[in-house]
């Protein structure tokens, strides 16, 4: 698969992230408009009923501040995912929600865990570690950008603030790292130059032929080819305009 096929803009690069953001805002609007509270549908660890939150919790948020802080990272990171990793984007999203939610269910405190933060941590972790492992200059640049924008989020994988599901964040971080190893072969490969190929032979390299064994430049002059010119002989014959006849 060619590298250029991995970095191709399409309508889905923007449309899918917009759809995700609209979905979580629509659920939040429904709660506010009709007075519902969907928090009970979040992940409640180590209970059979709490397993439904594995799928539902990313769409549920506690207040306007909660959903606001998740909107921008979700849009930016999912857009990057569909542009740089479009061939595996849906796999990362779907299995990322399931695995991070299940890990939260396994290690979380006895409380309702809600919000798209777990998925956001999956995307942060995946894009960072995958760019490092891939050794592709575009993906490495993406990794550095992610660290610059969201590197401080690593602190929220620790129990430093009351009311924040650090277990969900930790589960997302671990899931993204696991995906970086699982999807190792389904990403763009760095371009190999001629001298990096297995069948490369220095003696046949036209560029290296301009240097001697000490690295000195050799100016090669093409030998002049002498072309033997044919001599052309022109003979003129004159005749009288009105020749006299005997």
The whole-number pLDDT of residue 3 equals: 46
The whole-number pLDDT of residue 4 equals: 46
The whole-number pLDDT of residue 77 equals: 93
Angle formed by the axes of helices 117-134 and 166-182, nearest 10°: 30
Angle formed by the axes of helices 64-84 and 11-34, nearest 10°: 160
The whole-number pLDDT of residue 2 equals: 45
The whole-number pLDDT of residue 200 equals: 53
Residues 146, 153: Cα–Cα separation, whole Å: 11
In angstroms, what CA-CA distances link 229 with 184, 226, 232, 233, 235? 67, 9, 9, 13, 19
| pTM of the predicted model as reported, rounded to 2 decimal places | 0.73
Radius of gyration of the chain (CA): 34
The two three-digit tokens of residue 98, written as one number: 């399931």
The whole-number pLDDT of residue 42 equals: 95
Give the residues of the chain that fall short of pLDDT 50. 1-4, 195, 221, 245-246
How does DSSP assign 96-137, residue by residue?
Answer: HHHHHHHHHHHH--SS-B-SSHHHHHHHHHHHHHHHHHHT-H
Which string of b and e fits 138-161 if b means at least 16 CB within 10 Å?
bbbebbeebbeebeebeebbeeee
């Amino acid at each position: 698969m060619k590298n250029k096929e991995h970095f191709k803009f399409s309508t889905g690069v923007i449309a899918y992230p917009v759809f995700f953001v609209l979905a979580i805002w629509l659920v939040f609007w429904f709660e506010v408009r009709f007075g519902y509270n969907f928090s009970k549908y979040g992940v409640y660890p180590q209970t059979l009923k709490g397993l439904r939150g594995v799928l539902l919790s990313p769409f549920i948020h506690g207040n306007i501040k909660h959903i606001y802080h998740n909107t921008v990272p979700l849009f930016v990171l999912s857009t990057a995912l569909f542009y740089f990793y479009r061939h595996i984007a849906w796999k990362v999203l779907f299995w990322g929600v399931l695995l991070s939610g299940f890990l939260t269910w396994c290690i979380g405190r006895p409380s309702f865990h809600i919000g798209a933060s777990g998925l956001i941590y999956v995307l942060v972790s995946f894009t960072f570690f995958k760019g490092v492992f891939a050794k592709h200059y575009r993906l490495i640049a993406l990794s550095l950008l992610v660290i610059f924008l969201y590197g401080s989020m690593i602190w929220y994988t620790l129990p430093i603030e009351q009311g924040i599901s650090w277990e969900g964040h930790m589960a997302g971080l671990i899931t993204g790292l696991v995906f970086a190893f699982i999807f190792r072969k389904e990403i763009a490969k760095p371009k190999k130059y001629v001298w990096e190929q297995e069948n490369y032979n220095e003696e046949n390299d036209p560029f290296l032929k301009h240097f001697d064994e000490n690295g000195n430049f050799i100016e090669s002059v093409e030998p002049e080819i002498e072309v033997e010119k044919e001599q052309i002989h022109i003979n003129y014959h004159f005749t009288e305009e009105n020749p006299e006849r005997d």
